[in-house]
Amino acid sequence: MVFKLELPLDTSPESCYHPMIIQRSSYKKYRKIMGEYEELRRRIEDATLKSISYEFSTADFVAFSNIKKGSHPTIIKVILENKESRSDGLPHLVYVSREKDPKHPHHYKAGAMNVLTRVSGAMTNAPFMLNVDCDMYANNPLIFHHAMCLLLGSKNEQDCGFVQSPQCFYDGLKDDPFGNQLVVLYKYLGSGIAGLQGPTYSGTGCFHRRKVIYGLWPDGRMEIKGRSGKLTDERIQKTFGNSKEFTTTAARLLSGLSGISHCPYDLLNRVEAAQEVATCSYEYGTSWGTKVSCKYLEQQE
């Protein structure tokens, strides 16, 4: 059962349903919702304390046996697949753990973003991507609608490369004396450069246009095409790597199409291609980290 309360925010019960902001006429509803919420939280916390019996020898878990934090192969598992593409159903849910090897630099968060970009491109090739850190959440349940209105409503793709929500922090010191709440960065500097193509992407809470991640410039040029202005197989492989499945999807996207050419598709059939582009050595000799996707110019989180 869901109640609609006149509150300043729409989600996150711990932040929204505070007794100080609840109107007296809605207090009974508040008590009921908080009771249900606390029961749900208790059940989740109890479940995390219970051990789950499993065998690493089974097909689902064999990939997780004998692995170390900084040294393990690529692991990709399709947990949930929305084969019917139902708008009211849950989206695809895929577990991705890129290959780690002490002999190869992993490039921190930028490296992880680039791997996820390739994996999602190989599996679905969706025209838009969203990245959210595990410790972040959105208060606005319509955030997807707002982002898509901006990305799809612009006259030209070049007018809107990405849509990002500013990071807001709770329980911080008043006036942000140490600057770690990024108030100056988002509220003042961000607004100040709005007319200069806007602020740069900064970490989390961002809807990306995949074509921009692949190298589409604001003026519509694509460096991958070179002087000839043509999208050749040789240049695609030199830029994006030797995976035939992934380069096919990249070329399809840059040609103005999206998705996988043989839709409807089965995610399980795309796992092998996804694993190939998530290896440590895949980026060598390509433009990943230099001209394509997140750059490796500096150490990043």
Report the binding-site residues for Mn(2+). Answer: 109, 133
Say if residue 246 is exposed, middle or buried (CB neighbours under 10 Å; 0-12, 13-18, 19+): buried
Cα 249 from chain centroid (whole Å): 18
Describe the chain by its helix, strand, coil percentages, rounded to 5. Answer: 35, 10, 55
Give the annotated binding-site residues: 109, 133
Say if residue 94 is exposed, middle or buried (CB neighbours under 10 Å; 0-12, 13-18, 19+): buried
Pseudo-torsion of CA 99, 105, 111, 116, nearest 10°?
-10
Per DSSP, 251 falls in state H
Q: How far apart are CA 78 and CA 96, in angstroms?
A: 9
Cα 288 to Cα 107, 153, 292, distances in angstroms: 11, 29, 5
Backbone angles phi, psi at 100, to 5 degrees: -125, 135
CA angle at 162 for the pair 158 and 164, rounded to the nearest 5°? 150
Say whether the peptide bond before residue 264 is cis (omega within 30 degrees of 0). Answer: yes
Backbone angles phi, psi at 213, to 5 degrees: -60, -35
Backbone angles phi, psi at 163, to 5 degrees: -125, 120
Contact 5, 30 (CB under 8 A): yes
Give the H/E segment covering residue 75.
strand 75-80
